[in-house]
Structure 1
Amino acid sequence: MPRFSVIVPCFNVQSFLRECLDSLLAQSFGDFEVIAVDDCSPDGSGAILDAYAARDERVRVLHLAQNVGLGRARNAGAQLAVGDYLFFLDSDDTLTPGALAAIADRLAECGDPDVLVFDYARAYWWGGVRRNVLAHLLRATDGVFTAARLPQVLDLMMVAWNKVQRRDFVERHGFAFPPGYYEDTPWTFPVMFSAERIALLDRICVLYRQRRQGSILSTTSAKHFDVHEQYGRVFAFLDSRPELASWRPFLHRKMGEHCLDILGKPNRLPPADKPEFFRRSAELFRAHRPDEESIPPELRVLYGSWAAYLARQRAAALRRRLRAAAEKRARRTVARARLNRRLDPNLVLYSAFSHRGVLGDPAAIYHKAREIAPHLRGVWVVRDDAAGVPDGVERVAPDSRAYRQLAARAAYFVNNVPWPGALVKRPGSVHIHTHLGTPLKYMAADLLAKPGARYGLDVPRMLRQADRWDHSLVANLHSELVWERAYPCHFASARTGSPRNDVLVTASPDRGVAVRDRLGIPAGNTVVLYAPTRRDHVRGGYAERVDLARFAADLGEGHTLVVRLHPSLAAGPVRGLGLAELHRRGVLVDATDELHVEEVMLASDVLVTDYSALMFDYANLDRPIVVHADDLATYTAARGLYFDVTAEPPGHVTRDYGELAELFASGRWRDEESALARKEFRARFCAFDDGHAAERVVRTLLQGEPG
């Protein structure tokens, strides 16, 4: 008996079906059967299914004599299933690598729950990948639970394909999909209401394809009226299960929200059908109102008329337009007045990583200024959700009134990324740009020769923003030459060194102990820091060049693998593809969220990277560095490198995983050859990093002392 029965209904999906099946059959976990249901598809889907079945005995094909729709096609497949768990996979979606193995491991860990809910990411036709915005709910608990104990789990999208259900649980309750447009609604609510043991998996297992056109639920159609009948089925289910009656208020609210959402979308209903849709929604809402339920204010509109609803919507839209116009006029008036104010010679405005916090080079300069030039007033521009802002730091929100007032008067601006385009540089103000480290990969104007790498980047806009710079900080002559070429603007290069690297140069050997303790790393372990850069030529920016679970296992006892992703990937879907789950299980440590990368470096014994600029900073520690360059030719062609890092490396170079594993197994990663390469690398790229970079910036650029 297989662990999973994966049911794949197919109708008019010949363009996507092979990708779906390939993602399934290539899974590392192989204990599953595929029941592919050809729902009398008029295209070539049936022939594709037959071809796959002929090549792989795990694939069975059921050809239906007539088209029955998605729900009943799923039912037909489920009747043939013999696996422990049912997994309904839509035929235009794909599984992520390792998804079934992660699901199987979590099921075993939780003692075979009735339902396991996992995560997904939307894969857009234009190339973007965005994780489910409610992914944090999948970290709400580590054990099994009922929906009554954790009702917020029902805020996750109520579909069949983001969960697996134990087959005997489904059969015992007689769950089945009805016909219709919204067939998932009367399946998922009863399943989740009835399950006695639900578990969660914080991992992206499905890529949910977002088509440019052709998505059923995004099509303008009167078929959206089907939502009323489907919610009627769920209420009928509750009527048949008195023990579940307490769910009626919740379902009543969800129904109202769902109907108003459909009504409010511009591309769902034909305009002529909207009044009738509102009438039926209101009728259903009133018919199922629980006596004890207090109606949320935003849903009370369903007790009124269509005319009242329409008037309310139009009034709200008018208020938004008037408010936006008034704010725009006010901003213009105030901006003109502020440009006439006198600059404050002691006011310094700081920002880092697009206002993400008190971080990086600007933070090092700020702290040194407070120490040796306390008369300078340093104010940070940080978002409201910024983490780790120390107590006592004066801050303003981006684009707030206070920010605009300060920006009009500040004599100095310090940032490691360009200030927003709306900022007007006043005569006499000084902009200090710290950059994000020593450049290895092509930047700014050099990206004009790499059209793939500059996708989504407005290079001329970047150069206009760089025209504001007065000083460009550099840690070595290489950086000076590159920045002057990549940003053909009128700044002066300041050979100060990188202020954030001062701590790496001056830190005592035991500086990283506290960081290790915070990260839960056992005392005495050798810490291997793996920090890959992003791949601009790969969808989503991340390619798993190293099997992290395997690498952690091969390092063996006495070693801890610490992973830090590129900052641009931190908030994206990448960590949900397995990294977060490996961290939860203690296989490795995910240090991507650590605010100060310098502390992560200090806590490590060796760096494994590919083409990340982190290697230049890490070289200041004089600790081993390994360059894993298994895709050098591809990366160079796609993004471009200023020099061949494998010809002038900071340590050993590996070209495939076997070489990487052998390097650590043999201990050669810290031999004399590695030390010699590192010495030459440091001489070239750490030339100006002497531990006094921040002080040098404060004294020479903020206070005007001679260099």
Structure 2
Amino acid sequence: MSLGQTGTTPNSPRISLVIPVYRVQGYLRACLDSVLGQSFTDFEIIAVDDRSPDSCGLILDEYAARDSRVRPLHLEENQGIGKARDLGVRQARGDYIFFLDSDDTLADGALAAVAERLEQTADPDILLVDHVRTYWWNRVQGSAAREMLAEAGPDVFTALERPQFLTMFTVVWNRLYRREFYLEGGFSFTDGIYEDALMVYRTMLSAERIACLPQVCVEYRQRRKGNSLRTPGRQHFAVFEQYERLFAFLDERPHLDPVRPLIFERVIDHYLFLLFREERIHPRDRAEFFRRASAHFHRFKPAGYVRPQGSLGVRFDLLARGSYPALVAARTVADARNHLRKRAAKARVGLGRKAYDQLYRMHLRRPIDENLVVYSAYWNRGVSCNPKAIHEKARELAPHLRGVWVIRAGAEHTVPEGVDFVVARSPRYWEVMARAKYLVNNVNFPDEIVKRPGQVHLQTHHGTPLKQMGIDQQRFPAAAKNMSFGKMLERCDRWDWSLSSNRHSTEIWERVYPCSFENVDSGYPRNDVYFRSTAADVARIRAELGIEEGRTAILYCPTVRDYQKGFVPRLDLERLTRELGEDHVVLVRTHYFYGRDPRLQQLQDRGLIKDVSAYPVVEDLCLAADALITDYSSIMFDYACLDRPIISYVDDWEVYAKARGVYFDLLSQRPGETPGATATSEDELIEVLRSGAWKGERAAALRAAFRERFVQFDDGNAAERVVRKVFLGQEAAPAVLPLAERTPAPAPDAAALPVIPRQSTGGEDLVPADRSATA
């Protein structure tokens, strides 16, 4: 790859944003949108896909197809963030290079302010900009450099003239580099982490003209987990090599001796900062880290150096003496007490209620049962959803595993014959929760459950998100309902695997649950039945539901409203059935949060509707229905597997979107957002049904685009992929079939019996369509 030419060409942009990209699929769209949404437009984005194993490369290509300013560079091998930046610089054509991390965002108006200040200061070598830190709980914290940047005004200076600017946060994304200065200086990033510090000092000490912009330009995301700098290990010892290179740089430039004491003090302070950080240096490595830091203190200490005053000076003195035990002892008693108090509180929560404390403790000391799997769904409501499909596939592919379901008291009668179960909080419950190798749930287990080392937690989820989830709910009090987001994330910290049915979900889960799990892009196991059921299965289910032959069955599934209490009918069902006529039947299923509704019972008693709210298998209802009417329920994404008409009836869209928050606009009529015909009033809905628009060409085209986006991994083999990946430690096989090659269950008026193609996993290449399937 050739190095980009220096100088400005007539077609070169003013600013080149170089964005290294690796495992940030949950944040990448926000990053790119923050740049592309700027009022200043004379820029290019050099996005370097550092062989990211997730969907980042696809996201970059999607944005590049929409906007020519996005220029993806896909690397064949992972190079690391420094080399990725170097390769991006070689492709850059702009007057200025602006490094931006792919999980951060630009503030509104940032580039316009940058361009204006560059012009005011006659194109300095470096422009320093302000930033804020943003936290997952919506806290925004200003930088320590705010006042210093403001005091500089429009002045241009060197680091020797104003050495205080060497104390700014040592990262490359809070400054812009003039490309000619950067290339002529031969700057490049070194291997290993903490490469930013070395680059910052080298460039600052080389620049002849430095200017400041006291405006927030970068919103620095404080990721809760997943940042390489917050993963403890030996990789943090790379900081010593980086600073050895810095002092070698200083040795070759004696004219920089006036700032050497300041830099030395910054380096030693950095070592002490890292030493006791739990997310940086393992306790077993701290003594060695201390010894190396102490050696650097003596090796690089400037002549005549005077140690700082106060507690920092005490730590410097202990480091100089090489007294690690004394430094450990110098940590304050208050910090130790706070730490112990937090640990004790967490332990009390983790060991269950007091009545079961001793019993649970006993089982936690027993060995883990490598062949035991605990399943639960919908807060122990019964055997259903993705965990059920996984359980049944595990019986087939991993018969050595024993599955036990957790069921709430009073729901025992719902458990299918032959399925082992325990009642929540019973004595055996504490045993299986303490000893199971695998924990599978579509929601979270209670706070009191301790996840032991060696246990494996699979979070299957129970829907594709239209409404905002996880930490995104913080902006919507009606949805949050006094939720403790800290506690929620502690529960999510137990996840080892997170299951997804499409890339949209994968991106959302990764961002709104900032925890250290791996994604399983397998599809939803509960949806396998939609590709494995036959015409006979559909006919059988309709007969069981009492749907007469020849009648069109419409399934109506409204979801819960966070801003309302109880089930509030949004549709005059009596009028709807009257308008549809005798050749239609309406199946009504309310959300499981609601109990039985007497009004629905009355309509059913009159023969106007079929209330299927208590029907145990929602997948059967979808198979039986010719069409679906819903609002914001995630059932639309599952029903899309069947490639049958979907009607969005959203009479309260604006209220719902503001109260609950949504990720896209159902009413936009944009491909991939609207699943079919839409209606915002009862009259519109009836007209959609009467006119046939619900099954017309426009609705079919929208449904096809919706399926392209959301039915990405569902192909009838999701459960097998999960079992092989999580339980058997194999590749997630078989590979996902292309959408065009999948054959969903026939609609009720179809007669053909399909054969479902499967990619070989060592057995048959084709599975007969009449193979029995379970929902």
Scaled to the shorter chain, the TM-score interval is 0.5 to 0.7
Which residue, out of 620, 632, 642, partners 1:599? 620
**Counterpart residue number, 2:362:** 337
* 8 Å contact kept, 1:421–1:465: yes
Which residue, out of 643, 646, 656, partners 2:667? 646
Tell me how far 1:456 sits from its aligned partner: 4.8
Give the alignment of 1:687-698 within 5 angstroms.
687-698=712-723
Unaligned runs of 5+ in 1: 1-326
**Counterpart residue number, 1:509:** 535
Tell me how far 1:372 sits from its aligned partner: 1.4
> What TM-score comes out, normalization by structure 1 length?
0.52
Which residue, out of 617, 622, 626, partners 2:638? 617
**Counterpart residue number, 1:588:** 609
Tell me how far 1:459 sits from its aligned partner: 2.9
**What SS is found at the alignment partner of 1:594?**
coil
Distance 1:459 1:543, change over 3 A: farther
**Counterpart residue number, 2:378:** 353
**Counterpart residue number, 1:482:** 508
**What SS is found at the alignment partner of 1:696?**
helix
**What SS is found at the alignment partner of 1:661?**
helix
Tell me how far 1:658 sits from its aligned partner: 1.2
Distance 2:657 2:353 in 1: 45
Tell me how far 1:491 sits from its aligned partner: 1.1
C-alpha distance after superposition, 1:244-277 (max 9, x if no partner): xxxxxxxxxxxxxxxxxxxxxxxxxxxxxxxxxx
**Counterpart residue number, 2:480:** 454
Which residue, out of 550, 553, 558, partners 1:524? 550
**Counterpart residue number, 2:415:** 389
Give the alignment of 1:495-506 within 5 angstroms.
495-506=521-532
Tell me how far 1:543 sits from its aligned partner: 3.1
| Corresponding position: 1:408 with 2:434 | yes
Distance 2:573 2:498 in 1: 37
Residue type of the alignment partner of 1:457: M
C-alpha distance after superposition, 1:107-146 (max 9, x if no partner): xxxxxxxxxxxxxxxxxxxxxxxxxxxxxxxxxxxxxxxx
Distance 1:684 1:519 in 2: 32
* 8 Å contact kept, 1:609–1:627: yes
* 8 Å contact kept, 1:562–1:589: yes
**What SS is found at the alignment partner of 1:539?**
coil
Distance 1:329 1:638, change over 3 A: closer
Residue type of the alignment partner of 1:699: R
Give the alignment of 1:161-200 within 5 angstroms.
none
After TM superposition, the structure 1 stretch with the greater mean CA deviation from structure 2, 687-696 or 335-344, is 335-344
* 8 Å contact kept, 1:512–1:604: no
**What SS is found at the alignment partner of 2:575?**
helix
Give the alignment of 1:361-380 within 5 angstroms.
361-380=386-405
Using the aligned pairs only, state the percent identity: 47
C-alpha distance after superposition, 1:633-682 (max 9, x if no partner): 11100001111122221111112111110111122211111111111111
C-alpha distance after superposition, 1:9-39 (max 9, x if no partner): xxxxxxxxxxxxxxxxxxxxxxxxxxxxxxx
* 8 Å contact kept, 1:511–1:603: no
Tell me how far 1:330 sits from its aligned partner: 5.8
**Counterpart residue number, 2:701:** 676
Residue type of the alignment partner of 2:663: Y
Distance 2:434 2:385 in 1: 24
Distance 1:684 1:497 in 2: 13
**Counterpart residue number, 2:653:** 632
Distance 1:674 1:400, change over 3 A: same
Give the alignment of 1:222-233 within 5 angstroms.
none
Tell me how far 1:523 sits from its aligned partner: 1.6
**Counterpart residue number, 1:704:** 729
* 8 Å contact kept, 2:353–2:448: no
* 8 Å contact kept, 1:441–1:641: yes
Distance 1:538 1:340 in 2: 46
Tell me how far 1:383 sits from its aligned partner: 2.2
Distance 2:408 2:563 in 1: 30
Residue type of the alignment partner of 2:439: F
**What SS is found at the alignment partner of 2:370?**
strand
* 8 Å contact kept, 1:471–1:492: yes
Distance 1:543 1:365 in 2: 34
Distance 1:512 1:454 in 2: 39
Distance 2:674 2:691 in 1: 20
| Number of equivalent positions | 376
* 8 Å contact kept, 2:531–2:716: yes
C-alpha distance after superposition, 1:523-549 (max 9, x if no partner): 211001111111111232x33221111
C-alpha distance after superposition, 1:304-361 (max 9, x if no partner): xxxxxxxxxxxxxxxxxxxxxxx96662222222222111111100011111111000
| Aligned-CA RMSD value | 1.5
Distance 1:696 1:351 in 2: 20
Tell me how far 1:460 sits from its aligned partner: 2.6
Give the alignment of 1:416-435 within 5 angstroms.
416-435=442-461
* 8 Å contact kept, 2:386–2:526: yes
**Counterpart residue number, 2:574:** 549
Distance 1:646 1:396 in 2: 44
Residue type of the alignment partner of 2:614: D
**What SS is found at the alignment partner of 1:453?**
helix
Distance 1:697 1:663 in 2: 40
C-alpha distance after superposition, 1:473-525 (max 9, x if no partner): 00001001111122111111110110000001222234222222222221211
Tell me how far 1:587 sits from its aligned partner: 0.8
Distance 1:539 1:388, change over 3 A: closer
Give the alignment of 1:12-23 within 5 angstroms.
none
* 8 Å contact kept, 1:622–1:678: yes
Distance 1:640 1:662 in 2: 29
**What SS is found at the alignment partner of 1:593?**
coil
Distance 1:547 1:329 in 2: 50
After TM superposition, the structure 1 stretch with the greater mean CA deviation from structure 2, 683-692 or 332-341, is 332-341
**What SS is found at the alignment partner of 1:412?**
strand
| Corresponding position: 1:536 with 2:562 | yes
Distance 1:389 1:513 in 2: 25
Distance 1:681 1:597 in 2: 21
**What SS is found at the alignment partner of 1:460?**
helix
| Corresponding position: 1:399 with 2:425 | yes
Tell me how far 1:407 sits from its aligned partner: 1.2
* 8 Å contact kept, 2:359–2:430: no
Residue type of the alignment partner of 1:480: T
* 8 Å contact kept, 1:379–1:395: yes
Which residue, out of 425, 437, 440, partners 2:463? 437
Distance 2:485 2:710 in 1: 26
Residue type of the alignment partner of 2:625: S
Distance 1:506 1:673 in 2: 28
Tell me how far 1:615 sits from its aligned partner: 0.2
Tell me how far 1:449 sits from its aligned partner: 0.2
